[in-house]
Structure 1
Amino acid sequence: MRKILVVGAGQSGLQLALGLQSYGYEVTLMSNRTADEIRSGRVMSTQCMFHTALQHERDLGLNFWESQAPRVEGLGVSVAAPDSSRATDWLGRLDGIAQSVDQRVKMAGWMETFAQRGGQLVIHGAAVSDLDYFARTYDLVLVSAGKGELVAMFGRDAARSPYDTPRRMLSVAYVHGLGPRAEHPGLEAVRCNLVPGVGELFVMPTLTVTGRADILFWEGIPGGPVDVFQGIKDPADHLSLTLELMERYTPWEYSRATKVELTDANATLSGRYTPTVRNPVGRLPGGGVVLGVADVVVANDPVTGQGSNSAAKCAASYLESILAHGDREFDEAWMRATFERHWESARHTTRWTNTMLGPPPAHVLDMFEAAGRLQPVADRFANGFDDPSDFEDFFYDGERTRAYLAAVGGRAAR
């Protein structure tokens, strides 16, 4: 039986560990926290997973919370005008439902499942020196812990990383008591509110440790008027500032948030990081090599909501590559080929995300405006969150965008 070590208990690490376990591999999972510590700790992310990523969980029988989490059927886009009214506002319908489950709920539950199924769970914050030993003990070491000294083993890929500083300030609050959008009161949807020159506010329904909730997520341009959360320690102050900014820049969202309260004492988060693509192979002092997973090697800004989706897709791709490799050695050549296979999909997410971090070009603003008149355009943009490769055909190039809009408009006029 082949022995595999997975370091890191996030979406990708746990999904991989549970997947490998289901195929009979001897899997050890290392986490720096217990399930109870994760469940009772601070929120770790925002997340909304779309159909393809959710299907990877279903294929492994890991969709434990699907009946409890809100069924997200749409994705809306609003663009703020200079007077804080809405210059653009529309809702695209998703072909398959999306869902958000607080990672505190999911990761704690998956970790307990892994242990119950006989997996070896080690609670220990791994260091490079640990991996030096484990690389000689295991057939394959997968690193999915995306922070700290372990990530430093994976050098930045300059050709695939256009940014060398953070592009957004991130601020998150999980709340109860958010009212429905008046335009679609009975429909669960992710709302993307774009405020030119300021940043973005995302609002998404979720399942958290205290039940159904909503996430209020600001992405502020560094140095701008929303970049004000650094140093805020008190959760109540964090929420108050979140709402103050909503009232100023997205009053249509603030109007349904006047009665919200935090879901729990650990329901806020803030920070920033630089979007980076890294070399997938980490070299250890003793000569061994390890393979980076998900955001260890492809860390995108959350502006397009792809973190958990990309992690699930990476885990599924790596699982297929491991199964197909059989009893052969997991050498560096295999590791690089395994990553490049995943990159064929991941590159589309990275390109789209990096594009959305810059000022939107005129043809994209034209497309957003047209989506308010042409439902197929709204629907196609919404479903791009599930399959970002589709943006290659109509989003990046102005001529292609105009041709697409003309074709859709012509069909609508007939």
Structure 2
Amino acid sequence: MRKILVVGAGQSGLQLALGLQSHGYEVTLMSNRTADEIRSGRVMSTQCMFHTALQHERDLQLNFWESQAPKIEGLGVSVAAPGSWAEGPAARAIDWVGRLDGYAQSVDQRVKMAGWMETFAQRGGQLVIHGAAVSDLDYFSRTYDLVLVSAGKGELVSMFGRDASRSPYSEPQRALAVSYVHGLGPRPEHPDYDAVRCNLVPGVGELFVMPTLTTSGRADILFWEGIPGGPLDVFNGVKDPAEHLSLTLELMERYTPWEYARATKVELTDAGGTLAGRYAPTVRNPIGRLPGGGLVLGVADVVVANDPITGQGSNSAAKCAASYLASILERGEKEFDEEWMQGTFDRYWDTARHVTKWTNAMLAPPPEHVLNLIGAAGQLQPAADRFANAFDDPSDFENFFYEPEKTAAYLASLS
């Protein structure tokens, strides 16, 4: 029986560990926190998983919360009229919602990771609660057939060198601020179904609003992405959760008053329901070299970390885990050597490159043809629906988003 070590208990690490376990591999999972510590800790992310990523969970029968989590049937875009907030609350220039072919869902990672970790242990997996250092992996690489690193922060990431050719940004492009709340009202434009709402405030940043399932049941996530140094970049150093929410709502009242109107009665889900930070989007070389000569393979956001502006983090993690699982199963009894590791990453990159290209494009000011596309989607429902469904399959953006000629041809085909 082949022995595999997975370091890191997030979406990709746990999905891989449980997938390998179901195929008879002897799997050890290292986490720096227990399931109870994760469940009672601070929120870790915003996550909206679209159909393909959810299907990977279903394929492994890990969709434990599917019947409880809100079914997200649409994805809406609102754009504030540039400069309209100078004299008072902003006005909307664009507002539409696209319908998803297959529903999306969000489950608070505190719920999911704690539940999956307990499942892994119950199924006989070796669970080690210990933060891993490079020196630990140096030892483990000699006792396991394969070491997978899916812990996206800390010392271990430094083993994977930045790929400058695929990483155009060296600094964070957004300051991030998250609040999980109860008491948010429905969007009056679609009161009968749930949708993720993407609110774009040109030159300032973005507000994303998404329904989720948290430790206390149904909730919503309010997520600001502010351009560094701009009016939304005010959360650094804010430690008090109540102050964090108050700031979130003040900014909503000014820059997205149409969202604020349904948020006047919200309260935080729990004391751990806020998060703030920033990081530079980075693609790294997938193979880490240990001091003793051993090799480890980086997983998901260890090697491809995109800004959350396109909501792809947990989707990419699920797709990476599914791709790596397939590569490991196909390898059989052969050695997991450097060539195999590079090939395994390249197979995943074939999907991930579309996410990186699209995310980096969305971090930049939109060119005129993209503004035309987003504006036209307000009058052309097929354009709104296609844009929404490209969140599930970002490779489709190649066909109508990046090049003015393709955008014009696509819009012409609808009129």
Alignment TM class, shorter chain as reference: over 0.9
Measure, in 2, the Cα distance between the counterparts of 1:217 and 1:304: 12
Displacement of 1:239 in angstroms is: 0.1
SS in 2 for 1:231: coil
SS in 1 for 2:142: helix
Partner of 2:372: 366
Partner of 2:276: 270
1:322 aligns with 2:328: yes
Partner of 2:52: 52
Displacement of 1:384 in angstroms is: 0.4
Q: Deviations over 1:292-314 (max 9, x none)?
A: 00000000000000000000000
Measure, in 1, the Cα distance between the counterparts of 2:242 and 2:273: 10
Measure, in 2, the Cα distance between the counterparts of 1:271 and 1:342: 27
SS in 2 for 1:308: helix
Measure, in 2, the Cα distance between the counterparts of 1:369 and 1:292: 40
Aligned structure 1 segments of 4 or more residues deviating by more than 3 angstroms: none
Measure, in 2, the Cα distance between the counterparts of 1:183 and 1:3: 53
SS in 2 for 1:183: coil
What amino acid sits opposite 1:395 in the alignment?
F
Measure, in 2, the Cα distance between the counterparts of 1:147 and 1:207: 25
Partner of 1:34: 34
Partner of 1:380: 386
1:304 aligns with 2:310: yes
Q: Deviations over 1:162-207 (max 9, x none)?
A: 0000000000000000001111111100000000000000000000
Q: RMSD value over aligned CA atoms?
A: 0.3
Measure, in 1, the Cα distance between the counterparts of 2:225 and 2:137: 35
Measure, in 2, the Cα distance between the counterparts of 1:139 and 1:380: 43
What amino acid sits opposite 2:80 in the alignment?
A
Measure, in 1, the Cα distance between the counterparts of 2:374 and 2:391: 15
Aligned match for 1:255, one of 257, 261, 267: 261
Q: How do 1:71-110 and structure 2 match up within 5 A?
A: 71-81=71-81, 82-83=83-84, 84-110=90-116
Displacement of 1:407 in angstroms is: 0.6
Measure, in 1, the Cα distance between the counterparts of 2:298 and 2:27: 17
Measure, in 2, the Cα distance between the counterparts of 1:183 and 1:341: 41
Measure, in 2, the Cα distance between the counterparts of 1:408 and 1:397: 17
Partner of 1:25: 25
Measure, in 2, the Cα distance between the counterparts of 1:125 and 1:292: 16
Partner of 2:140: 134
Measure, in 2, the Cα distance between the counterparts of 1:8 and 1:34: 12
1:344 aligns with 2:350: yes
Displacement of 1:344 in angstroms is: 0.2
Aligned match for 2:167, one of 161, 165, 168: 161
Partner of 1:284: 290
What amino acid sits opposite 1:213 in the alignment?
A
What amino acid sits opposite 1:207 in the alignment?
L
1:228 aligns with 2:219: no
What amino acid sits opposite 1:274 in the alignment?
A
Measure, in 2, the Cα distance between the counterparts of 1:189 and 1:394: 23
Measure, in 2, the Cα distance between the counterparts of 1:195 and 1:247: 13
What amino acid sits opposite 2:35 in the alignment?
A
Displacement of 1:360 in angstroms is: 0.6
Taking structure 1 as the reference length, what is the TM-score of the superposition? 0.99
SS in 2 for 1:122: strand
Partner of 1:111: 117
Q: How do 1:119-268 and structure 2 match up within 5 A?
A: 119-268=125-274
Measure, in 1, the Cα distance between the counterparts of 2:356 and 2:414: 27
Taking structure 2 as the reference length, what is the TM-score of the superposition? 0.98
For structure 2, the residue ranges without an aligned partner over 5 or more in a row are 85-89
Give the count of matched residue pairs.
409
